Structure 1
Amino acid sequence: MSNHLLVLQSDFGLVDGAVSAMIGVALQEARDLDIHHLTHDITPYNIFEASYRLFQTIEYWPSGTTFVSVVDPGVGSKRKSVVALTQTGQYIVTPDNGTLSYIKKHVGIKAVREISEVENRRKNTELSYTFHGRDVYAYTGAKLASGHISFDEVGPELSVDHIVELPVVETKVKDGAVMGAIDILDVRFGSLWTSITREEFYSLKPEFGQRFEVTIFNNDMLVYQNQVTYGKSFADVRIGQPLIYINSLYRVGLAINQGSFAKAYNVGVGSNWRIDIHRLEN
């Protein structure tokens, strides 16, 4: 059941009226909606980042919350518009373009329905092809969050198995080493968040204060190699020193105390950015 909470995410930024238009459309549908923002600073067109930010956030919201995520480089094409119902009871209104990848893998999706644009699209917008965030997603999200439509009334059910998924780098653990990808940045502080889970890292039997050899590649190009201390928090190393830590999503992070690791070494994110962590033998 919906709960009147509507959370918006996009790559629109706040420099023009796009996000405000989405809010207005939602409030036209239901003035008593409680509207919040996940972020509107997703890197333009970066579907993976949109997927990750949803995964980072949704478990902290009540069951019944409706999320609208619009990172839609294929707007106006034949890509489907959908609503997913997660295993934890939230709704995600989004293009079926890979945005649901992390949710499907790490949270679970009970069901997916295609948005019927005959019923669930703002009137007189049929010839507007480039702002589905306003005309389809915010509108449908508001109808769902307000209880004006049920999940079943969104449109026809689709197979969860057939939604679009982005390729994910599988973490490897072997012989005193763990290897994964740099998934995303802790943007404001420049820390690297990797695909390596706490459990995978713990297979190396780490102890606080222990040093590990960290190697970062962009495709086959070596970008960084150094011995890095494993710490509980950033203050476990001197200012300016690197640190391995477990982040708030229980994944391995790489940071510089009071500095930006990403800027210091020009490190990016995505499946072509690989990280290897090797236990050093005493």
Structure 2
Amino acid sequence: MRPVYRFRRYFLVLVLLPLFGYLHQLPAQEVPSHQKPSQTETLRTIGFMTDFDVKDDAVGICKAVMNGVAPGVQVIDITHQATPYDIAEGARFLAGSAPYFSKDAVFVVVIDPTVGSTRRAIIARSKTGQFFVLPDNGLLTLVQDRDGIEGARQITNPEWMIGAKTSSTFHGRDIFSPAGAHLARGDDWTTAGPPVDVASLVRLDLHTATVDDTGLHGEVIGTDGPFGNLVLNVPGETFAKLGYKLGDTVPVQVGGQTYQLPFVKTFSDVAVGKPLAYIDSRGRLSLGINQRSFAEIYKIQAPAAVVIAKKP
């Protein structure tokens, strides 16, 4: 190495090292708050359910509104293919899914056949801590029966809505989605509007099967997704009162027609194409056909009366 380059290298080391040490000892400068990286706040999860289907842009628009109010919010789709206008089915799906969400989750539910009418748009808080943003039309019935409702508010504050020009036919976009997102980001729900007397909430007239001296009296309340299994309003513990055990043949009368069905644990306990009675994943008595549709083959739709005699 030439002497001149060696000298330059040593000179730089001698000059710069002390300078680096001096800079290292300087006090740290506070970064202005508006220049700091934004801290991601903890957002409540939103469970979203409608009867909108997914054939058009309605669901996507609602999610965009939610994300606009609470950027990064997690939205879990419960279903958007609830039977149109079927509030009772929506109440069943809501009550069935809520226990699998966190205790502070927010539910935005839009099955709203009287949208734009005098029915109230509300926020309700269950005694488990979950929030429900929905029309006051009975969707809360089963949640209220199981979990209890500790308070409710009518959504009237424009700041909790999409804006001044609220549509009379798309409250899912204009009221329920933004209100749900405000809750998800932790806004004070008491500012959404005036309190609602919990006793005044609309309730559905839903019935559970009963057992008397003649046997069990129930009803078909729906089908299990695309499979055509019949969902009954018969809790497993109610059916157990009849005395049947696994392996027994149960005479089930549905819509006036009696079917002799083996009571088994699961579909594969009978041959393909054969019917069965079983306790479904929600703990209810259900009727099905292994790899076939009970509803389609026997032409049964909800509602239909169900009668089961006690075991001899």
Calculate the TM-score normalised by the size of structure 2: 0.83
Using the TM superposition, give the Cα deviation of residue 104 of structure 1 relative to its aligned residue in structure 2, in angstroms: 1.6
1:97 aligns with 2:137: yes
Structure 1 distance, partners of 2:209, 2:311, is: 20
Using the TM superposition, give the Cα deviation of residue 88 of structure 1 relative to its aligned residue in structure 2, in angstroms: 2.2
Aligned AA for 1:179?
H
Partner of 2:287: 254
1:198 aligns with 2:203: no
Partner of 1:207: 245
1:276 aligns with 2:307: yes
Secondary structure at the residue paired with 2:114?
coil
Partner of 2:11: none
Secondary structure at the residue paired with 1:42?
coil
Structure 1 distance, partners of 2:132, 2:233, is: 23
Using the TM superposition, give the Cα deviation of residue 3 of structure 1 relative to its aligned residue in structure 2, in angstroms: 4.4
Using the TM superposition, give the Cα deviation of residue 262 of structure 1 relative to its aligned residue in structure 2, in angstroms: 1.0
1:238 aligns with 2:271: yes
Partner of 2:17: none
Contact 1:55 1:107 (C-alpha < 8 Å) held by counterparts = no
Contact 1:3 1:64 (C-alpha < 8 Å) held by counterparts = no
Structure 1 distance, partners of 2:131, 2:98, is: 10
Using the TM superposition, give the Cα deviation of residue 110 of structure 1 relative to its aligned residue in structure 2, in angstroms: 2.0
Structure 2 distance, partners of 1:23, 1:97, is: 23
Q: Select which of 172, 180, 194 maps to 1:133.
A: 172
Contact 2:242 2:311 (C-alpha < 8 Å) held by counterparts = no
Partner of 1:166: 204
> RMSD of the alignment, in Å?
1.5
Contact 1:56 1:249 (C-alpha < 8 Å) held by counterparts = yes
Contact 2:158 2:164 (C-alpha < 8 Å) held by counterparts = no
Secondary structure at the residue paired with 1:157?
coil
Gap runs ≥5 in structure 1: none
Contact 1:4 1:32 (C-alpha < 8 Å) held by counterparts = no
Structure 2 distance, partners of 1:177, 1:240, is: 28
- Percent identical pairs in the alignment equals 33
Provide, for residues 202-244 of structure 1, a one-character-per-residue CA deviation record: whole Å limited to 9, x for no partner. 1122211101110112xxxx2x311111111111212111111
Using the TM superposition, give the Cα deviation of residue 176 of structure 1 relative to its aligned residue in structure 2, in angstroms: 6.3
Of the two structures, which has the highest relative contact order with CA contacts closer than 8 Å and spacing of 6 or more?
A: 1
Using the TM superposition, give the Cα deviation of residue 17 of structure 1 relative to its aligned residue in structure 2, in angstroms: 0.6
Using the TM superposition, give the Cα deviation of residue 77 of structure 1 relative to its aligned residue in structure 2, in angstroms: 0.5
- Structure number with the higher strand fraction is 1
> Which shows bigger deviation, 97-106 or 31-40?
97-106
Provide, for residues 110-138 of structure 1, a one-character-per-residue CA deviation record: whole Å limited to 9, x for no partner. 22211124332111323x21110000000
Structure 1 pair 225/275, CA: closer, same or farther in 2 (3 Å)?
A: same
Structure 2 distance, partners of 1:24, 1:13, is: 16
1:227 aligns with 2:260: yes
Q: Where do 1:23-102 residues align within 5 Å?
A: 23-102=63-142
Structure 2 distance, partners of 1:164, 1:266, is: 33
Structure 1 pair 107/185, CA: closer, same or farther in 2 (3 Å)?
A: farther
Structure 1 distance, partners of 2:179, 2:244, is: 48
Partner of 1:180: 218
Calculate the TM-score normalised by the size of structure 1: 0.91
Gap runs ≥5 in structure 2: 1-41
Query: Which structure has the greater CA radius of gyration?
Result: 2
- Structure number with the higher helix fraction is 2
Aligned AA for 2:95?
F
Structure 2 distance, partners of 1:174, 1:238, is: 33
Structure 1 distance, partners of 2:282, 2:138, is: 21
Using the TM superposition, give the Cα deviation of residue 12 of structure 1 relative to its aligned residue in structure 2, in angstroms: 0.7
Partner of 2:182: 143
Secondary structure at the residue paired with 2:97?
helix
List structure 1 runs of 4+ shifted beyond 3 angstroms: none
Structure 2 distance, partners of 1:248, 1:79, is: 34
Using the TM superposition, give the Cα deviation of residue 140 of structure 1 relative to its aligned residue in structure 2, in angstroms: 0.2
Using the TM superposition, give the Cα deviation of residue 177 of structure 1 relative to its aligned residue in structure 2, in angstroms: 1.9
